[in-house]
Amino acid sequence: MRQLTLDDLGTPLYDVTFCVLDLETTGGSPLTCSITEIGAVKYRAGELVGSFATLVNPGTGIPPFITILTGITEQMVVAAPPIESALPPFLEFCRGTVIVGHNVRFDLSFLDSACRRLDYPLVGAEPGARRHVDTVGLARRLIRPEVRDLTLATLARHFRSPFPPIHRALEDARATAHVFHALLERAGSLGVTGLDELLILPTARGSSYYQKLHLTEGLPRQPGVYMFFDRNGELIYVGKADNLRTRVRSYFYGDERRRITDLLRQLHRVEYRVCAHSLESEITELRLIHAHRPRFNQRSRPPRRTLFVRLTEEPFPRLSVAHKLASQGRLWLGPFRSKRTADLVVEAFWASTQLRRCTGRAGSRQGLCAPGQMGVALCPCAGGLSADLYAQVIDTIVGALDHDPGLVLDPIAHKMRRLAAERRFEEAAQMRDRYRALAKALERARAWQALAAAGRIELESNLGERVVVDQGRLVAAWRSGQAPPLLVSAIEADDAPTATYPVPPTMDAAEEAHLVWQWMTGGRVRVIESSGPLVLPVAAIPHLSAA
């Protein structure tokens, strides 16, 4: 029998082997009571493939009320095997199956207690997963208004089971199996056709718009991007998923957040695009969001304006926040989503160097400006500042990007730790925020320059994911063994940005280059072909540690 793994959770239900079990015990607690009988039946595609039944010697007396309830007497179990002998064949019987039971947690609690005591693997526990289905939860989700209660006897009568439950393990397991298959028919009418959907169904709280679940029936279990449209045909939400069907259907399983409720209320149509792997999914999602600005993608929507930090073209350059990018200039950083982030980067340079802060012309004042008087900046406003001395400050800033980021990051870290040691925690937190903003900006600028210099690159990951990247923009994606496409058909893209810019010219180009770079550096990726050198400076960007 094939053993199911987490990768098989999307397996069609007709390919899953279910083991329906029931126990009889001496009481209600696995800590003080013992198993007296085990019964189980095994089904695949609705066909019975095996059954298991045995009395178990509990090693203790059976209370009279249990004997009255089940009909199992102490004389009946005297010659029965103890749990030490009965458990191994039962574990083998249900190995590789999905466990089903009525109030199954009760039965599993007794079996788990015995398995732990005897050092056996838990029933139904495959590597990394514990898969079981409770017919109580299924019935509550599917037919609760139709029945008086959810006892096994009531459900068996409701579905006209030929095996009435009589509090004996095998007969009750057969009754549970009949109820389970009847509930599967009901679940199928909701589009539940895979194991992953069945496992989540009993715990789903339901949604006011659950009837729209039929919109997901054609979704495949493949990676890709899904798109929600309203009745006017407007794209209102874009998302990515490794399993399109499972992810989209999860919206209908009782997510009570107001945003999700509003989204489902307006949902009229679902479309999807299958992608070769997760990187293509992420970039396709990004491009669609930037192109259509769906109103429910609030966090990912592009900003209304894009900001950059640059060194001005003056005899004594200073930093300024710009709205447009030019191909000239000794230093550009960005783009940034907010003025706050751009200001943090500027303040970080001010905290680590004596870069001028005033905006006046050299020699335009009688005395130094306030930063110059405090000695935190070299300002030419009063005249007399040596151009060679100031050039050293500019060289430090440019050198941080070109070869050694520690030139500007280390002084900030030193100030942060000194302020923390002096218990000036708010000021230390400001330094921390400046450090992180500058480190992130330097890291992304370096990655962009490396991708731009490399030009057109073909890469392959150890998972068989293959891509072609041109100056930081994805132009093709496929998997090893597949024919490489000429272009990624799932991506609606403009022309790739040219390499003449020192930083990405737009926010979508920056975010796409960042996704590509994360993928390249986040795992084992080899370069197959490159039209230029793919290199980074030797000195890495130092990141703050908890210490």
CATH of domain 6-199: 3.30.420.10
User: Which residue type is seen at 545?
Assistant: S
pLDDT tops 60 at residue 158? yes
| Closest listed residue to residue 234, CA positions, set 280, 284, 268, 258 | 268
Q: What is the pLDDT of residue 17?
A: 95
Domain boundaries, the chain: 6-199, 204-274, 336-442, 447-530
User: Which residue type is seen at 313?
Assistant: E
CA 222 to chain centre: 15
pLDDT, tens digit (0-9, with 9 covering 90-100), for 469-478: 998 999 999 9
pLDDT, tens digit (0-9, with 9 covering 90-100), for 225-273: 999 999 999 999 999 999 999 899 888 876 677 888 899 999 999 999 9
- Please state the φ and ψ torsions of residue 18, each to the nearest 5 degrees: -105, 135
State how beta strands 125-126 and 224-229 pair: unpaired
Q: What is the pLDDT of residue 76?
A: 96
State the average pLDDT over residues 142-165. 95
Whether residue 330 contacts residue 396, with contact meaning beta carbons closer than 8 Å, is answered with no
Full-model pTM: 0.74
State the average pLDDT over residues 2-25. 75
Instruction: Say how far apart CA 457 and CA 470 lie, in whole Å.
Output: 6
Q: What is the pLDDT of residue 205?
A: 61
Instruction: Say how far apart CA 212 and CA 230 lie, in whole Å.
Output: 13
State the average pLDDT over residues 81-106. 95
Of the two residues 487 and 42, the one the predictor is more confident about is 42
Helix then strand then coil, in percent of the chain rounded to 5, is: 40, 20, 40
Superfamily of domain 204-274: GIY-YIG endonuclease (3.40.1440.10)
Instruction: Say how far apart CA 317 and CA 493 lie, in whole Å.
Output: 37
Of the two residues 50 and 383, the one the predictor is more confident about is 50
Q: In what order do the strands lie in the sheet with 473-479?
A: 473-479, 465-470, 456-461, 525-530
Q: What is the pLDDT of residue 5?
A: 42
User: Which residue type is seen at 401?
Assistant: L
State the average pLDDT over residues 540-544. 85
Instruction: Say how far apart CA 295 and CA 228 lie, in whole Å.
Output: 11
E strands present in 312-367: 319-322, 332-336
Q: Helices 104-118 and 83-93: crossing angle, nearest 10°? A: 120
Maximum distance among all Cα pairs of the chain, rounded to whole angstroms = 111
Of the two residues 115 and 4, the one the predictor is more confident about is 115
Whose tokens are 């007794």? That residue is 110
Q: How confident is the model at residue 372 (pLDDT cuts 50, 70, 90)?
A: confident
pLDDT, tens digit (0-9, with 9 covering 90-100), for 282-303: 999 999 999 999 999 988 888 8
State the average pLDDT over residues 386-414. 93
Q: What is the pLDDT of residue 491?
A: 42
pLDDT, tens digit (0-9, with 9 covering 90-100), for 317-352: 999 999 988 877 889 999 999 999 999 999 999 999
Of the two residues 45 and 372, the one the predictor is more confident about is 45
Q: What is the pLDDT of residue 3?
A: 39
pLDDT tops 80 at residue 25? yes
Same fold: 6-199 with 204-274: no
Whether residue 100 contacts residue 180, with contact meaning beta carbons closer than 8 Å, is answered with yes
Cis previous bond, 82, omega within 30: no
Q: How confident is the model at residue 517 (pLDDT cuts 50, 70, 90)?
A: very high
